[in-house]
Amino acid sequence: MVSYNILSFTMSPTSLHFLNFPCIFLFVFFQICIHFAHPFSFHLDRDSSNPNINYEGDARLSIGKIVLLASDLPYRVGRAKYAKPLQLWDSCLTGSYGADFTTHFSFTIDNVSGPSGLAFFLARVGYELPPNSAGGELGLFNSTSDSDMTKNRIVMVEFHTSMQRVGISENSPRSTVSTSWDAKSHAGKAANVWITYKASTKNLSVFWTYEKNPVFKGKSYLSCHLDLKEVLPQCVKIGFSASTSSTHERYTIHSWDFHSNLNQSCNKMRRTILATSVAAGFLIMMLLTSIIGWLVLKRRRIGNDQSHGNDADSESSISTNLEREALPRKFSYLELLAATNGFAKDRKLGQGGSGQVYKGTLSDLGRPVAVKRILTESEHSQSLFINEVKIISRLIHRNLVQLIGWCHEQGEFLLVYEHMANGSLDHHLYGKGEALPWNARYKIVSGLASALHYLHEEAEQYCVLHRDIKSANILLDTDFSTKLGDFGAAKLVDPRLTPRRSRVVGTYGYMAPEYANEGRDSKESDMFSFGVVALEISCGRRTFQDGEFHVSLVTWVWELYLAGDILKAADEKLGMDFHEDEIKRLLVVGLWCTQPNDRKRPKAGQVIKVLRLEAPLPELPHDMHDPGFHPLSPQSQDQSSSFQLTSSLDDLGR
CATH number for 465? 1.10.510.10
CB 78 within 8 A of CB 241: yes
Whether 468 is a known active-site residue: answer yes
Q: Give the total number of structural domains in the chain.
A: 4
Residues 464 and 393 in one domain: no
CB 138 within 8 A of CB 118: yes
Helix axes of 604-611 and 438-453: crossing angle, nearest 10 degrees: 150
CB 241 within 8 A of CB 177: no
Residues 481 and 605 in one domain: yes
| C-alpha of 161 from chain center | 33
- More confident: 42 or 321: 42
Contacts of 627 (CB under 8 A, 6+ apart): none
CB 514 within 8 A of CB 603: no
Can you list the positions of beta strands (E) in 181-283? 191-198, 203-209, 222-225, 235-243, 250-262
Residues 639 and 535 in one domain: yes
| Closest residue by Cα to residue 398 from 523, 533, 218, 233 | 218
Cα 416-643-475 angle, rounded to 5 deg = 30
Q: What is the pLDDT of residues 88-97, one digit of tens each?
A: 887 754 556 7
Which listed residue (468, 521, 650, 651) is catalytic?
Answer: 468
At 44, give phi and psi (nearest 5°). Answer: -125, 130
- Residues of the domain holding 185: 40-263
Task: Please compute the mean of the pLDDT values over residues 313-330 and round it to a whole number.
Answer: 54
Q: Which amino acid is at 630?
A: H
CB 359 within 8 A of CB 423: no
The answer, as to whether pTM is greater than 0.75, is no
Residues 619 and 533 in one domain: yes
* 127-131, 328-332, 379-383: least confidently modelled range: 379-383
The secondary element (H helix, E strand) that includes residue 280 is helix 265-307
Q: What is the DSSP letter of 503?
A: -
Percent composition of the chain: helix, strand, coil (DSSP 3-state, to 5) = 35, 25, 40
Q: What is the pLDDT of residues 9-68, one digit of tens each?
A: 333 334 444 444 455 555 444 444 444 445 678 888 776 665 789 999 999 988 889 999
CATH number for 102? 2.60.120.200
Asked if pLDDT for residue 619 goes beyond 50, the answer is yes
Q: Which amino acid is at 374?
A: I
**Confidence tier at 278 by pLDDT (50, 70, 90):** low
Residues 551 and 575 in one domain: yes
CA distance 562 to 271: 60
CB 339 within 8 A of CB 616: no
Q: Looking at the domain assignment, is residue 239 inside a domain?
A: yes
Q: What is the DSSP letter of 50?
A: S
Q: What is the DSSP letter of 458?
A: I
At 439, give phi and psi (nearest 5°). Answer: -60, -35
CATH number for 369? 3.30.200.20
Q: For residue 468, count CB atoms less than 10 angstroms from its CB and return exposed for 0-12, middle for 13-18, buried for 19 or more.
A: buried
Q: Looking at the domain assignment, is residue 344 inside a domain?
A: yes
